[in-house]
Amino acid sequence: MYKSSVDIPFVYRDDNIALLDDLSAVKNIHDSVFLEGYLVVLVLNGNAQVKMDETMYEFQPGDLFMCSPRNIIKNIMVSMDLEVRAFFVSPGFTEQVVQMTNLDFSVYLIDSKHEVIHLSQEEIDMCSMYFTMLSRKYKSAETPYKAYSVSTLLSSMIYAFSDLLMSHDISITSNDYTSANQIFQHFIHILKSPDCNMHMVKDFADKLNISPKYFSSVCRKITGRSAGSLINEAVTSEAKQMLRNPQMTVKQISNKLGFANASHFGTFFRRQTGMSPQQFRKKL
């Protein structure tokens, strides 16, 4: 769910979810953390600074930070008294949760890469309660009903969290499971998955087992935007994140993103940003 040279002390971790309440291992480091999953962090005490998209974000007690996959967090600096509650969730597990709760986060995920909202004390207490309950349940002994208990608790937490987001004017809709909604939801989770290296409308349409024309009509119906513009925006954002990593060459980035060669990647990047990958790096 993340890539970093730092050994992070998770309260609990498996292939689907990770819980964290101690950032002592990542205090004041300049190493980059590449997120392959969704990250939610609630600051209870102290303060922290992180850099994303060349913007420095400062977090105070009560701030809730949400970040989608394929983002790079770096220049992490935290105070000695920092206390947090954090969740990492894999894209695949997120899709399961969406199906389980009948909630549709897909439009929110395509429009927002990261967001910070400030919670009331009541909202902080609720988030902390769910974190404690989940961590205890995950670490408890195996019993016949443990899996069902965890599933029910997760569903309850997602509904409560959705209420919280909507109270802060972040729209989360109920998924009516029409064909178009299911297709778009699946598309978003493919697009956000760490191993996605597609950048053509046809590639995604083939993956979804539909025609490119119908795929584009679905995207326009739900977002008002073409499938191509959504894909290009996501690929460009991913390219910018990788170009911020001096350890990766342009050729390596081109291969990672699924382009035939660095020249094709350069043409795509210039068309989207007005500058070459090398020029973008010089501006950093």
Task: Indicate if 101 and 19 belong to the same structural domain.
Answer: yes
- Asked, for residue 137, whether it belongs to a domain, the answer is yes
Give 49-67 pLDDT, tens digit per residue: 888 767 788 999 999 988 8
Looking at residue 30, its pLDDT comes to 57
Task: Indicate if 210 and 146 belong to the same structural domain.
Answer: no
- Identify the domain containing residue 235 by its residue range: 197-283
Task: Indicate if 63 and 141 belong to the same structural domain.
Answer: yes
Higher pLDDT pick, 90 / 27: 90
Residue 58 is part of a domain; what is its CATH number? 2.60.120.280
Looking at residue 17, its pLDDT comes to 86
Residue 256 is part of a domain; what is its CATH number? 1.10.10.60
Task: Indicate if 24 and 143 belong to the same structural domain.
Answer: yes
Give, for 3, the enclosing helix (H) or strand (E): strand 2-3
Angle at 116 between CA 237 and CA 81, to 5 degrees: 115
- Asked, for residue 75, whether it belongs to a domain, the answer is yes
Task: Indicate if 212 and 150 belong to the same structural domain.
Answer: no
- Identify the domain boundary among 115, 148, 167: 167
Task: Indicate if 142 and 43 belong to the same structural domain.
Answer: yes
Number of domains forming the structure of the chain: 2
Lateral strand order in the sheet of 17-20: 12-13, 17-20, 83-89, 38-45, 63-67, 114-118
Average pLDDT, rounded, for the chain: 82
Structure-block tokens of residue 103:
């909630």
